[in-house]
């Protein structure tokens, strides 16, 4: 695993041990990188995703929650832009999570999450998520070890509840190398149009790289379940990241198999004047 000449799994099996050093962030299984064939496959998947979204919305019985987590500059925004932008905003929305404040900080850590989960027929993308409370909270010791370890069980139960209620869940960790993160930060520094993305906190967090890697390993290993699996997406190569996420989403929607409901009236009896 992690070698370019071997097949690197994306989906993490329940109970599997996770060591991110064993996953190559440069991995791809396309013999012709960035060629027209892969671009055509991605375009086909995006069209299929839009068709399946319409059926999901019309059926109005199931929903899909997509969780994106990554190190800073890992590509969460880019994934949303290139993979989800073709979806109909009538039944697709993005929820982003910053540091809890106000009412959010005064309630349990899942309160702000549950209130923005998808309704029937919706697709919702989380840009960061409830996993921040076993990542940032752990690395910066905002809560005790006993508290963040208990949260793994709370998260699994919460996601199981969503699944039992008709919400399917896909979780993606966009895996980049520390060197790739440095290059992306440097690009932001050199490009005036990207200066708005710069934050001193991002550079400070880079000093906790190893701590975050360990925290992600635990979160993925402890919370990859049959009802809410984690996927480790090699994300150094943006084109492969986009295709791998799109393909996984399409496969999930195909498995959900949403159907158009029958008409509420007898179409054969309609006579237009």
| Alpha-carbon gap, residue 230 to 170, rounded angstroms | 7
Q: So what's the pLDDT on residue 4?
A: 44
Helix (H) or strand (E) holding 232: strand 230-234
Structure tokens at 126: 């989380």
Decide if pLDDT at 39 tops 80. yes
The mean pLDDT value for 18-39 works out to 82
Long-range contacts of 136-145 (CB under 8 A, 24+ apart): 138/211, 138/215, 139/208, 139/211, 139/212, 139/215, 140/208
Q: So what's the pLDDT on residue 32?
A: 59
Model confidence at 85, pLDDT cuts 50, 70, 90, reads confident
Give the domain 37-260 fold.
Rossmann fold (3.40.50)
pLDDT digits (tens, 9 = 90+) for 152-206: 999 999 999 999 999 999 999 999 999 999 999 999 999 999 898 888 888 899 9
Average pLDDT over the chain, rounded to whole?
A: 93
| DSSP codes, 124-177 | EEEES-GGGGGTHHHHTTSS-HHHHHHHHHHHHHHHHHHHHTTEEEEEEEEE--
Q: So what's the pLDDT on residue 31?
A: 61
Helix, strand, coil percent values for the chain (each to nearest 5): 50, 15, 40
Ordered by start, the domain boundaries in the chain are: 37-260
Report the largest interatomic distance among the alpha carbons of the chain, rounded to a whole angstrom: 71
């Amino acid at each position: 695993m992690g070698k370019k000449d071997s097949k690197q799994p994306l989906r993490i099996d329940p109970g599997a041990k996770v060591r991110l050093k064993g996953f190559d962030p440069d991995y791809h299984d396309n013999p012709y990188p960035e060629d027209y064939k892969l671009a055509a496959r991605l375009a086909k998947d995006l069209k299929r995703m839009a068709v399946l979204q319409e059926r999901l919305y019309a059926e109005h019985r199931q929903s899909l929650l997509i969780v994106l987590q990554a190190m800073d500059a890992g590509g969460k925004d880019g994934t949303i832009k290139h993979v989800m932008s073709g979806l109909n905003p009538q039944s697709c929305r993005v929820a982003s999570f910053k540091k809890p404040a106000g009412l959010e900080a005064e309630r349990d850590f899942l309160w702000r999450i549950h209130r923005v989960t998808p309704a029937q027929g919706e697709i919702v993308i989380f840009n960061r998520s409830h996993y921040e409370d076993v990542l940032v909270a752990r690395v910066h010791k905002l809560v005790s070890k006993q508290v963040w370890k208990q949260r793994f069980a709370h998260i699994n139960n919460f996601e199981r509840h969503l699944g039992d209620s008709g919400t399917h869940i896909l979780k993606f960790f966009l895996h980049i190398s520390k060197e790739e993160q440095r290059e992306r930060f440097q690009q932001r520094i050199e490009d005036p149009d990207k200066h708005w993305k710069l934050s001193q906190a991002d550079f400070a967090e880079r000093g906790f790289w190893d701590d975050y890697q360990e925290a992600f390993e635990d979160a993925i290993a402890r919370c990859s379940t049959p009802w809410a699996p984690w996927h480790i997406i090699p994300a150094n190569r943006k084109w492969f990241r986009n295709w791998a996420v799109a393909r996984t989403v399409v496969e999930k929607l195909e498995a959900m198999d949403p159907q158009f409901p029958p008409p509420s009236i007898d179409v054969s009896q309609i006579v237009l004047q």
